[in-house]
Amino acid sequence: MSWQSYIDDHLMADIEGNHLASAAIVGHDGSVWAQSANFPQFKPDEITGIMNDFENPGSLAPTGLYLGGTKYMVIQGEPGAVIRGKKGPGGVTLKKTNQALIIGIYDEPMTPGQCNMVVEKIGDYLVDQGL
Amino acid sequence: MEAVVVDAGSKLLKAGFAVPDHPPSMIIPTQMKCLPADETSTEASLHEIIIDPVVRGFISDWDAMEDLLDHVLYNGLGWEIGNEGQILFADPLSTPKAAREQLVQLMFERFNISGFYASDQAVLSLYAIGRISGCTVDIGHGKMDIATVIEGAVQQISSRRFELGGLDLTNLLAQELGKSYPLVNLSISDVEKIKEQYACCAEDDAAYEKLQLSCPEEQHTLPDGQVIKIGRARYTVGEALFQPSILGLQAHGVVEQLVHCISTVSSENHRQLLENTVLCGGTASMSGFEDRFQKEASLCSSAIRPCVVKPPEYMPENLSKFSAWVGGAIIAKVVFPQNQHVTKADYDETGPSIVHRKCY
């Protein structure tokens, strides 16, 4: 299965009638493995900040989470595994696997819970596969 | 059938169907008595064991909690076995992940509910007064939570939980009364009632100092008929929240703690938090507490001065005693119809960890 099909067939798939606004799978170094067509272009230091927050949970909270220049307010995640950000009615969920970062950006009417379900499920599957 | 909202506190359990703008239909003591199985003993009352399922805000005795919920749901609210509905729980700050998972597991596996949701008490208390951002100072029986909430999400970094509450104030009062009346046998439940009736806060610390020197005394008749006089001890209890050194704690008073929490949030949000400060919890409804809090807040030297918000007029009186429950009733009307909750199918597929994904 190619990385792109993880994006097209799984991350961007419909869940309860809604789907993510954009999604990507990137390496821990920021290299893009696959992304949806409209995924924002992000900067290397944004990924560095994110990886740092997985190591030191809470480091992004004071300044906010930045992705593709958009600022998200950090909300309750799972230290070392999941970072969640909120921007108005939308937001982002980032799940860390052994070698990658699964990123899902959602907007209304999709709910944070639905985004988490999609992103974390794929993440758990990859972790089981050793990726 | 409406969803049920439950807020299990260390002293009182608030439960009822989600009817917004109404108080919970059940406000019962959380404390339970364990009666011995052997009923032939004539000294049965001496073997009664008091059990507290909820300690310092967190569920600690799960078997007792199960029995309590069984009573509340089936006897109190009229749920029928085989036709259980949806339930929403109000969690305190910093509830351990394992505890959240255990609760959702208990509800789906033992009670066979059809839908579950859990939300932070701080967020719910703000919803009750019509806000999605602000700070809450929730002083309950077993714990005090100072939380900052922005757009419905608790800012974990700038929220703090203190293991200080009405329970400690009751013990303090018992200690003070014990000094004046060493020979009188006061049970903790007697002292608790005295505290609820008489405890209050002095206007400011200068007034408190004066009251320590001379204070009018009131007479109180104990259940066994003895009469005691309650004087400055009633103000000592209220003062302890502003000067924790009275309790022997090396900590700042409640207003300073709040200011400290707000200062750790980025300054663009300060105004929103300060203008929307909510006082809630049973202990915060002590006579004179709100006025004293507001007064101490206005004396703050920094630019950060909290301003306490009044509940809307359509809300029931004494909202602060069950604001988290009322907020739960409000959000239940949104979460369940819009399927944002954990369904039985979700639980069966993913297991208890689903609660972290869907409920926050």
Which of B96-104's residues contact partners 24+ apart within 8 Å by CB, and which partners?
B96/B58, B97/A78, B97/B356, B99/B58, B99/B59, B100/B355, B100/B356, B100/B359, B101/B352, B101/B353, B101/B355, B101/B356, B102/B59, B102/B62, B102/B352, B103/B59, B103/B355, B104/B342, B104/B347, B104/B352, B104/B354, B104/B355
- Mean pLDDT of the region A75-100: 92
> Could you tell me if B211 lies within 8 Å of chain A, comparing CB atoms?
no
Position of tokens 């703690």? B257
| pTM: predicted TM-score of the whole model, two decimal places | 0.90
Q: Which residues of A touch B338 (CB under 8 A)?
A: 111
- Exposure string over B232-246, b if 16+ CB within 10 A, otherwise e: bbbbbbbbbbbbbeb
CA of B123 vs chain A CAs: smallest distance (Å): 13
**How do residues B155-208 score in pLDDT, each as one tens digit?**
988 999 999 999 999 999 999 998 888 888 888 889 999 999 999 999 998 999
In this prediction, does ipTM exceed 0.85? no
For A24, half-sphere exposure in the C-beta direction (CA atoms, 13 angstrom radius) is 19
| Residue B16 three-state SS | strand
pLDDT on residue B46: 59
By the CB < 8 Å criterion, does B358 face chain A? yes
Q: Do B155 and A78 touch (CB under 8 A)?
A: no
- Cβ distance A116 to B358 less than 8 Å, yes or no, reads yes
Q: How many CA atoms lie within 13 A of B236 on its CB side?
A: 22
Q: Please indicate if any CB of chain A lies within 8 Å of the CB of B355.
A: no
Is pLDDT above 80 for A128?
Answer: yes
Residue B40 has pLDDT above 70, yes or no: no
Are A62 and B264 inside 8 Å of each other by CB?
A: yes
Give residue B316's pLDDT band: very low, low, confident or very high (50, 70, 90): confident
Mean pLDDT (whole number) for A99-121:
93
Q: Does B266 touch chain A (CB under 8 A)?
A: yes
Inter-chain CB proximity A120 and B357 less than 8 Å: yes
Residue B274, phi then psi, degrees to nearest 5: -65, -40
Angle at B101 between CA B83 and CA B50, to 5 degrees: 80
